[in-house]
Structure 1
Amino acid sequence: MNRRTTFKSLVLLTTGSLLQPAKIFSRESTLWKSRLSRHFLSTRIDPELPEEKRLPFGWQGFSVAGERPALLRPTLPVNLQAGDGLLLRCSVAIDVREEKVVRARIAGTQEELGHFDIRYAAVFQVFDLEIAPLFLPAINQHGIELSLERGENPMWFFAATPGYRDRDNTFLPQLLAYPKDEIDREEAFIRQMCSLNSIQPFGWMEGCVLDGLYQMYKRKKHRKARRAIKGHFARFFDRQDNFIHEDPRSRPLDNKIGTIESTQPFSTLARLEPDHPVFTEVLKFWEERTQPDGTVTDHYSVTAEGSYTIAYPMAVIGKQRGDKAMMEKAYAQILLRKTMLVQDGDIYLRYYPKDDSRKYRNWARGVTWYLLGMVRTMAALHDQLDVSEAAEEVARVAKMVIPHQLKNGLWPCFIHEADIAPDNSGSAGIAAALATAVHNGWIGQEYLPFCRKTYTTLLDQLTPDGLLQGVAQSNKVGEALQRSDYRVTSQMGLGLMAQLYAAL
């Protein structure tokens, strides 16, 4: 069979506009056991995008601007069973680099439904607003008006045109009706993961999801997870093997690799398509960013992300190719970061060699990138290289993080500061790394109860349809936002939760 047959067939199913629903969404929609239902809202389509911006996958969107509100109307009357809840959902279509407030009202009235608080959001980020059922008759009759009350630039959301039929798409504007008393949260979580509803911008965010899907397939034998991996990659690679994606600012970046954070997904692609032509560019990119001391970095700093986004995929590719030099270089990435990012036992996200400074002390996701990248790299290489030095560091970090775990199994966003709100993504990632280390024998079984406690609490943090809430926002604007109580819903966090699920 042709090397690309599987991807090509999936491209036919999944590329194109939202007018062409992908089967990966709709095949299983009738298996949803809950009364949960999505009621899509129609709106205008804005064909003119901001300069140099692009929506992913040829999808469509609408904007909300200061003097141009948007009207959302149910495509069919929405009915709600007694006792059920109702959410208004919109999903981000263009990267956000400011704080915005989008107000929702009954159209043609001053009756307020609430507002979306949107700060520095990434594409595909979902925002939900709880709607009181008493407003439903007016919504059916008049629709919902969205207006921008804070923000300099228009707010862009994904949109569907009339006639859209996919019943299980989380990204379109919708009213989500859900039963409050009969939700199987683990089923909902698995369902969302094993679909296109978990897709993220290509790079570290999508890498977390793909890694979660791969671990679900490898460890839990979820065949639908493997199909979802292929469906995700079919969105980013066309039939001619072109690499189609946008950079973190929603600018087209086709057939290019942007930063070291962009290469994490290739750890999963290498397992499905080891001879894909994109790896020529990946290896070239790493070589160009190799510093004299051997560290692969961007710009002027060494980051913890590199353990997960550089060392891990490099280890997988090196092992597949039997390239000992590449495997040694991958292992060196985690040891170099151990030297540069650890000070007085604490783990820092960034190290700046120019002035020997460090930032983001014990930031939960930074600890995740450092530790999860380390154990994933070791898991790929332990039968090829001596990884004992890294194993000692894993054991040290395990002992360091456990005292900081909160009673509910989560970790604060800065794990040594108990008065800061937890970050569910960092908590999932730390616990996933610990559970993986237990599985590989690098730490003892006594750590598993701490990991199970994390997972149990995360199940209670899911939306009714299975997305992870309580996640610290993308780190675009410094520590202040991370230290605040502001938290979001994130498929990236869901991917880290999936890795924890698979490791238990």
Structure 2
Amino acid sequence: MASTTAVHPDVHAPSVPFPADKRTPLDWSVAPVTAHSEGAPTLLEWPRAVAPAAGRLRLFVACDLRAAVRVEARSARTGRLLTTYDIRYPDCHQPYDAPLTPKAAQLALAEGILLRLAEEPSDSADPAADPPPTLWIFAGSQAPPERRPVLLLDRTATLDPPGALHRTLTGIGSVQPFGWMEGCVLDALYDLAVTFPRDGLARTALSEHLALYFPDGTLRYEDPRGRPADDRVYGIEATLPYAVLAKLNPLDPALSRAIESWRVRTDDTGCVKDVPTTAEGSYTVAYPMAAIAHRTDEALREAALRQLHSRRERLCTGTNLHLRLLPDGTRVYRNWARAYSWYLLGLVRTLTELGDEADTAGLWDEARRVAALALSRRNTEGIWDCYLGEPETGAETCGSAGIAAALALGTEQGRFDTFREGAAALRAWEALAETYLTEDGWLSGSSPSNKGGEELQRGGYRMLSGVGNGLMGQLGAALVRLGAVKDWTQP
């Protein structure tokens, strides 16, 4: 696999106000990409002393967008279309790559690139329709280099993709929106630090990530829509990071914020939820509850178990697992790969934290049942399709990494079979690392966040995934502890 040369451009953007009800993440600088009718394009300019080659132009989204847009990248002087981005319902910190031919890269370096949102042709557009919404990307000196636009030019040297994954994870460039997304990365960094005690990079990155969101002990972040949510928990997905906080410091006063958020979201049966009951809660609620309880807080321990029982009762029907149970009784996202990931990873991690007690035995049985279902529904690559058992929906890597991580962690606990679940986790790692890890350590082949609905999930749209990186890190660390793979963090 070819390595890359990364070349950052200077960015010149039009003056457009950031949405008044939102905040730029982490106070990093941003730039707008607008439609032609909304103002000037954003200009990227590179130094001239770079030899062109085929490659990719990468952008990172800086603000949640509840829409699909197409970005055109044109040469700045001649206006030639060099590449386009198909961006659908992006989350903050989401990377997007667009390919460049050698000729396109040469033009980009010689002329610069103009970024603009594409609009519908005038003969087919509704004249009264609004222009595409502004897309915000990270850019400028107050954003770290890992978040700025970058031209990635292919070179000839080879690079180990798992090693690149480690370098990507153990830097500020792996940061994700606070909540379930950042929690997946924090778990990976914690696992890497424990698995490799001398891995100073993982420990440093863990500290740096937490310092971004907990400056001076206060919680400062934006909710999934980009609105400030300081010192409060926006929903059940936001409490996953507290699992690592509890492991690092069981007496951290910040833990009380998570406990209070669970209290106010507990229904009359003891299930902590937002409006629907979701599979995410097995991982984002039950697991941090168990980490905080740490086998001594009996009330939290019982609450953690209750989350798992409630979700088994509400989300499982026969051999099917659903992501959500809606208030009207409708279940949706049947056998979605990431629903399996959250449900099974939550079971395994929660029960591991609670220890080997009689009250966990039935739930370990449930974990083995769901693991067996997952194994029976693998695709020919040894990973999982976006909807398990529905190959027409296509392979989905983020959910696959999460399912495999749960299988490896359960095998490590002696609850799954080494030659069945353990071997399946190893095969998934090998398939994902060989085929889907980019040369600079990003997991490709992930479906987008589910805010675009099931139609988007089923349509085959794929992208890079920071959450997938975190789940891959968890999987890889567990496989090293099992002795199934060598130390992949070393070059």
Contact in 2 for aligned 1:257/1:282 (Cα 8 Å): yes
SS at match of 1:274: coil
Query: Paired residue for 1:484?
Result: 459
- C-alpha distance 180-396 of structure 1, shift in aligned 2 (>3 A): farther
Q: Deviation of residue 154 (structure 1)?
A: 0.8
Q: Deviation of residue 329 (structure 1)?
A: 1.0
SS at match of 2:257: helix
Query: Paired residue for 1:247?
Result: 223
SS at match of 1:156: strand
Query: Paired residue for 2:286?
Result: 311
SS at match of 1:477: helix
Q: Deviation of residue 220 (structure 1)?
A: 3.9
How many residue pairs end up in the alignment? 462
Counterpart of 1:227 (choices 192, 204, 211) is 204
Contact in 2 for aligned 1:178/1:464 (Cα 8 Å): no
Task: Name stretches of at least 5 consecutive residues in structure 1 with no aligned partner.
Answer: 1-33
Q: Deviation of residue 180 (structure 1)?
A: 4.9
User: 1:60 corresponds to which letter in structure 2?
Assistant: S
- Residue 79 of structure 1 pairs with residue 55 of structure 2: no
1:26-45 equivalences in 2 (<5 Å): 36-44=4-12
SS at match of 2:57: strand
CA distance in 2, matches of 1:180, 1:396: 46
- Residue 158 of structure 1 pairs with residue 138 of structure 2: yes
- Residue 390 of structure 1 pairs with residue 358 of structure 2: no
Query: Paired residue for 1:294?
Result: 270
TM score, norm. by length of structure 1: 0.88
Q: Deviation of residue 181 (structure 1)?
A: 4.9
CA distance in 1, matches of 2:256, 2:371: 37
Query: Paired residue for 2:110?
Result: 141
Query: Paired residue for 1:187?
Result: 163
CA distance in 2, matches of 1:313, 1:242: 19
User: 1:289 corresponds to which letter in structure 2?
Assistant: R
Contact in 1 for aligned 2:265/2:273 (Cα 8 Å): yes
1:46-57 equivalences in 2 (<5 Å): 46=15, 48-57=17-26
- C-alpha distance 78-118 of structure 1, shift in aligned 2 (>3 A): farther
- C-alpha distance 328-180 of structure 1, shift in aligned 2 (>3 A): farther
CA distance in 2, matches of 1:179, 1:271: 42
Contact in 2 for aligned 1:41/1:72 (Cα 8 Å): no
Contact in 2 for aligned 1:100/1:119 (Cα 8 Å): yes
Query: Paired residue for 1:203?
Result: 179
SS at match of 1:391: helix
User: 1:73 corresponds to which letter in structure 2?
Assistant: L
Query: Paired residue for 2:242?
Result: 266
Q: Deviations over 1:264-318 (max 9, x none)?
A: 011011112333332222111111111111100112x211000000000000001
Contact in 2 for aligned 1:101/1:149 (Cα 8 Å): yes
The percent of aligned pairs where both chains have the same amino acid is 37
Query: Paired residue for 2:353?
Result: 380
Counterpart of 1:108 (choices 71, 77, 87) is 77
Contact in 1 for aligned 2:59/2:95 (Cα 8 Å): yes
Q: Deviation of residue 177 (structure 1)?
A: 2.2
- Residue 340 of structure 1 pairs with residue 311 of structure 2: no
Task: Name stretches of at least 5 consecutive residues in structure 2 with no aligned partner.
Answer: 120-130, 480-491
SS at match of 1:113: strand
User: 1:219 corresponds to which letter in structure 2?
Assistant: T
CA distance in 1, matches of 2:357, 2:46: 58
TM score, norm. by length of structure 2: 0.90
Query: Paired residue for 1:256?
Result: 232
CA distance in 2, matches of 1:430, 1:207: 16
CA distance in 2, matches of 1:165, 1:348: 39
Contact in 1 for aligned 2:243/2:287 (Cα 8 Å): yes
SS at match of 1:36: strand
Q: Deviation of residue 59 (structure 1)?
A: 0.7
Q: Deviation of residue 69 (structure 1)?
A: 4.2
Query: Paired residue for 2:41?
Result: 70
Q: Which moved more, 1:35-44 or 1:277-286?
A: 35-44
Query: Paired residue for 1:20?
Result: none
Counterpart of 2:301 (choices 316, 327, 334) is 327
- C-alpha distance 75-181 of structure 1, shift in aligned 2 (>3 A): closer
SS at match of 2:147: coil
Contact in 1 for aligned 2:220/2:229 (Cα 8 Å): yes
- C-alpha distance 494-362 of structure 1, shift in aligned 2 (>3 A): same
Q: Deviations over 1:137-168 (max 9, x none)?
A: 4323321011111462111111114xx897xx
Q: Deviation of residue 226 (structure 1)?
A: 1.8
- Residue 403 of structure 1 pairs with residue 376 of structure 2: yes
Over the residues paired in the alignment, what is the CA RMSD in angstroms? 2.0
- Residue 454 of structure 1 pairs with residue 428 of structure 2: yes
User: 1:228 corresponds to which letter in structure 2?
Assistant: A
User: 1:350 corresponds to which letter in structure 2?
Assistant: R
Q: Deviation of residue 70 (structure 1)?
A: 3.0
CA distance in 1, matches of 2:439, 2:458: 27
Q: Deviation of residue 108 (structure 1)?
A: 2.2
CA distance in 1, matches of 2:187, 2:282: 14
